[in-house]
Structure 1
Amino acid sequence: MSVQHLADTYLQSGQIDNLPDNHFIDGTFVAGSSGEKMESFDPARAEAFGSFALGSASDMDKAIAAAEKAAASWRKVAPSERCRILNNAARVLRENADQLSVLEVVDSGKTLAEAQGDVAGSARLFEYYAGAADKLDGRSVNLGTANTAFTVREPVGVTGHIIPWNYPTSTFARGVAPALAAGCSVVAKPAETTPYTALVMAGLLTEAGVPEGLVNVVTGLGSEVGAQMAKDPRIKQLTFTGSVNTGVNVMQMAAPNVTRLTLELGGKSPLVAFEDADPEAVADGAYWAIFSNSGQICSAGSRLVVHKSIRDDVIDLLVQKAKALKVGHGLKNPDMGAVNSEVHLGRIKAHVDAAKARGRDILTGGNITTDPETGLGWFFEPTIIADLPLDDPAVQEEIFGPVLAVQVFDTEDDAIRLANGTEFGLIGSVYTRDVGRAMRVSQALDCGQVSVNDYWAGGIELPFGGNGKSGYGREKGWEGLDAYTKVKSITISNAS
């Protein structure tokens, strides 16, 4: 079936056929030990469309045991064979891209175009790390003629992955693909509001030749199965993407076992526009930086730091673009989709209501809305708050919605001070025609990634991660393999 047929079928029936409703453990779908279920909601309709297993500590224990057994065999598989299997996984994901894309839209609320991009990127992740599987070499170390010394990179073992609800498909892939390439096994816990693509992808990976037990998915509450994963000493590497507060809790739970951690947490990323930048390009960049995926992106450009001389031109253009933006059900491919849950919609509203109460200037938006065709769903208007001081909560706190905070500067030093003026340090972007300035400011920004004149420039081949309260460790790129390998040095005496 084509993606359009799948979309139309769901929009007419409100149902998706063959939804997995159990955990995926040791190569098969397994009922949860409690027998209890949770509902998953279509955010654009605010209606449940499926149910899935409410996991328990017992379910997580079974998954980790299966992963531990599988890891012992997988680490012995020739790297070239791991390469072949992961390339096949990429092919199978592409063959099932339409199904995964529609499921991603209905489960998360994003637009079909965004979901299709996520699925394509997920397949590319498996392809990229397939190419790395047989190139994880150590190095020869020159200790002189008395000894021969070299290093090897070994898999860490069982890896745990706590997946967020904003990018359930691509975040699953960006952790699972390098883990498998490195010779590790996986236990994944998807967010309780977006469980389905992880379950479907686990089944597809097994179909593609990934051995049973290597990829396991346990659904349920983070406070139950997620916490159980974080505490388990058999988990040798824990990769978490989510909020700062939850990340701190994960760190504390993993600390007694000295578990290795990769944390990708919050962000309050700046788009810095200098006086020589093209106002149209700045407005377009800021538009996509904050309104993509309804602003529910850790790396969203949630702050526009703009020079006073172009402030009015940029803001006029940006307000026009925001007012023209159309929201609606993601399967109808609007400009912007729904907010993932009613709870999160309330959080966004509370942030904006607080800004209103402080007397801040809301240039456009600022309210909860619905799908204009149906009157249903969890949507928030694209919102721009003008000319905020550095200490304003709308500048300092991650809203994680389609809400842009505008800050105005005069000098280059002032721009850098404002850009670095939060506890976060995930990404930043610089808009200028001056190459020297672009280099100076890029080096001065305290964050993990910088783009110039294109907010979303970059890709799978580049490392991604943050500084400060945005977390630590890097995913994607060659550096994404570091979390899943450990280095051992071996020295041999040449004495007779």
Structure 2
Amino acid sequence: MNRTLNELVAEARESGTLEGLPQDHFIDGQYRPGTTEEHLETFDPGTGKPFARFAAGGESDIDRAVVAANRALREDWGKATPAQRSRVLTAIAQEVREHADRLAVVESLDSGKRLVEAQADVRGVIRTFEYYAGAADKIQGDSLPLGADYVGFTVEEPVGVAAQIIPWNYPVGTAARGIAPALAAGCAVVAKPAEQTPLSALLLAELAWRAGLPRGVLNVVTGTGAAAGAALVSHPDVHHITFTGSVATGQHVMRSAADNITRVLLELGGKSPVAVLADCDVEAALDGVLGAIYENAGQICSAGSRLIIERGLHDMFMDRLLQRIQKLRLGHGLANPDVGPVNSAQHLSRIDQHVSAAAGRGNLLLTGGKTVRPDSAPGGWFYAPTVIAAESAGDPVVQEEIFGPVLVVQKADDLDEVIALANGTDYALVAGIYTSDISKAYRFARQVDAGQVYINEYFAGGIEVPFGGNRKSGFGREKGLEGIKSYCKLKSVVAKI
């Protein structure tokens, strides 16, 4: 019988862990130890202490998983009808729903995010599998108008084995948004979660198998990027790679994929602008700006990390924004504070170095700018919610992704300058605008280079909305019906009659 959320939280807070967490890879329908006995530790960012061990996989483990995935395509899963795939995805959604509390607590422990955020992520997983369950039997081609003497049509076929390289900031959510459409299209999957957050992908694979997914269709190999990740993206029997992570690592993935001409989808970094015009609903804009940068402690590729504000509204808006920021409470994720920890000691140091360097170059630190130790979680990795007024549009604090609770503020005289500043980095993932003038909003949406634009609500939409970036933010789209296309290959058939 499933334990209640309160019971799971109490166990985690008292013991520092949960019983029964997986320690092995999930390959070919069951947990299997690695080919070596080496294990790594995963840490609770709210305490700075390890709470679980997991297998340190490598090339041989990846090869076992890829072999299992290819075999599944030749056997049960390759022969399943679209309707059968749909029923399995529906069953997975239900299985996740039944174990949602445990999955959310594990996700909070592993990533550090607030429990309410982890719960929302798990609800998103359920919705993702429901959505693609509904799409699995609607993947269809077109008829081609070739005249009376020919019949022509196209067929969408599964691309094959799809590799998933899963990041540490949204482990279970990002896993689902790649795995679900891949399964809906008829692919098999080998996933490699980040070494900082390995557990939720393993649990998701187990739940999928319990729901009736045939063995070998979904495999998870844990380990470092250098050992397991590199082996996966360079494997000759992998047919597609979905990677979410940094620009530098994405470049390595592309180079590895090139050797085997493997298809790649990249969702990389961002330095996304939130534009606030003088005619906006100020309360809505304040809420939106806060959520855009401080949700998940700012560790979101699409975080609204740049506030571009019209000069006439600037002083009043910033006074109110800073008052709200300075009241934010930090603490362990399971305690549901306003802001949780960052994911690792290494990342905490990286954020602090970014901010210290920015201040040293003359940018004005308005609040925060330091590591903190909350009384309720003195051993965790916390950074104060920070706001920096940028000295110039070309400063690294404007141009570089910090990936933490750090908001950079820029002023603009009018909409034209807002748009110019919004387009002023190498990234093009997301942009948002707050205004009561719909014409200005649509002009902003048309002229700003971004994969998605939010109007009067940051992070609006859900699994139905295609997501992805341009320029150094990557290419390809996940989510929505566009997300299935990444896992299909188009075949054209023409017959003379």
Structure 1 CA distance, aligned partners of 2:392 and 2:317? 18
Partner of 1:475: 478
2:200 is the alignment partner of 1:197 = yes
Structure 1 CA distance, aligned partners of 2:62 and 2:289? 42
Query: What percentage of aligned pairs have identical amino acids?
Result: 52
Native 8 Å contact 1:285 1:454 kept in 2: yes
Match of 1:263 among 261, 266, 274: 266
- 1:277-356, aligned counterparts within 5 Å? 277-356=280-359
Deviation at 1:318? 1.1
Match of 1:412 among 412, 415, 439: 415
Native 8 Å contact 1:43 1:107 kept in 2: yes
Structure 1 CA distance, aligned partners of 2:375 and 2:268? 33
| Paired AA for residue 10 in structure 1 | A
Partner of 1:403: 406
Native 8 Å contact 1:75 1:155 kept in 2: no
| Paired AA for residue 71 in structure 1 | L
| Paired AA for residue 312 in structure 2 | S
SS in structure 2 at match of 1:44: coil
| 1:360-379 Cα distance to aligned partner (Å, 9 max, x none) | 21111000012321322000
| Paired AA for residue 199 in structure 1 | L
| 1:181-236 Cα distance to aligned partner (Å, 9 max, x none) | 00000000000000000001100100000000000000001011100111111110
2:251 is the alignment partner of 1:224 = no
Native 8 Å contact 1:162 1:239 kept in 2: yes
2:366 is the alignment partner of 1:363 = yes
SS in structure 2 at match of 1:306: strand
Structure 2 CA distance, aligned partners of 1:347 and 1:374? 20
| 1:118-154 Cα distance to aligned partner (Å, 9 max, x none) | 0000111011000011000111111110101010100
| 1:43-85 Cα distance to aligned partner (Å, 9 max, x none) | 0000000110001111010000000101223132111010001
Native 8 Å contact 1:388 1:406 kept in 2: no
Deviates more, 1:394-403 or 1:454-463: 454-463
Deviation at 1:281? 2.1
Partner of 1:465: 468
Native 8 Å contact 2:332 2:377 kept in 1: no
| 1:304-343 Cα distance to aligned partner (Å, 9 max, x none) | 0000000111111111111010010111111111100000
| 1:373-425 Cα distance to aligned partner (Å, 9 max, x none) | 13220000000001442101110000000000000000211111100000000
Partner of 1:58: 60
Partner of 1:40: 42
Partner of 1:31: 33
Structure 2 CA distance, aligned partners of 1:371 and 1:264? 33
- 1:165-176, aligned counterparts within 5 Å? 165-176=168-179
Native 8 Å contact 1:79 1:133 kept in 2: yes
| 1:443-472 Cα distance to aligned partner (Å, 9 max, x none) | 101000001011111111010000000000
TM-score of the pair, normalised by structure 2: 0.99
Deviates more, 1:13-22 or 1:387-396: 387-396
| 1:68-103 Cα distance to aligned partner (Å, 9 max, x none) | 101223132111010001000000001000000000
Native 8 Å contact 1:22 1:32 kept in 2: yes
Native 8 Å contact 1:427 1:448 kept in 2: yes
Structure 1 CA distance, aligned partners of 2:373 and 2:325? 16
Partner of 1:156: 159
Deviation at 1:158? 0.5
2:17 is the alignment partner of 1:15 = yes
Match of 2:72 among 64, 70, 73: 70
Instruction: Give me the CA root mean square deviation.
Output: 0.8
| Paired AA for residue 211 in structure 2 | A
Deviates more, 1:70-79 or 1:432-441: 70-79
Q: How many residues align structurally?
A: 494
| Paired AA for residue 143 in structure 2 | S
| Paired AA for residue 64 in structure 2 | K
Structure 1 CA distance, aligned partners of 2:36 and 2:402? 36
1:295–1:405 CA distance, 2 compared to 1 (3 A) = same
Native 8 Å contact 2:390 2:398 kept in 1: no
SS in structure 2 at match of 1:149: strand
| 1:139-188 Cα distance to aligned partner (Å, 9 max, x none) | 11111101010101000000100000000000000000000000000000
Structure 1 CA distance, aligned partners of 2:495 and 2:393? 58
Match of 1:108 among 111, 114, 127: 111
Deviates more, 1:416-425 or 1:271-280: 271-280
Structure 2 CA distance, aligned partners of 1:144 and 1:313? 67
Structure 1 CA distance, aligned partners of 2:216 and 2:454? 39
Structure 1 CA distance, aligned partners of 2:38 and 2:477? 36
Native 8 Å contact 1:138 1:151 kept in 2: yes
| Paired AA for residue 236 in structure 2 | P
1:71–1:371 CA distance, 2 compared to 1 (3 A) = farther
Native 8 Å contact 2:428 2:450 kept in 1: yes
Deviates more, 1:316-325 or 1:101-110: 316-325
2:130 is the alignment partner of 1:127 = yes
| Paired AA for residue 105 in structure 2 | V
Native 8 Å contact 1:388 1:395 kept in 2: no
Match of 1:142 among 141, 145, 162: 145
TM-score of the pair, normalised by structure 1: 0.99
Deviation at 1:480? 0.2
2:383 is the alignment partner of 1:380 = yes
Match of 2:186 among 178, 183, 194: 183
Partner of 2:394: 391
| Paired AA for residue 444 in structure 1 | Q
Structure 2: 5+ residue runs without aligned partners?
none
Structure 1 CA distance, aligned partners of 2:377 and 2:107? 20
Deviates more, 1:332-341 or 1:364-373: 364-373
SS in structure 2 at match of 1:186: strand
Structure 2 CA distance, aligned partners of 1:72 and 1:159? 15
Structure 2 CA distance, aligned partners of 1:369 and 1:89? 40
Structure 1 CA distance, aligned partners of 2:471 and 2:414? 25
Structure 2 CA distance, aligned partners of 1:221 and 1:131? 35
Deviation at 1:8? 1.1
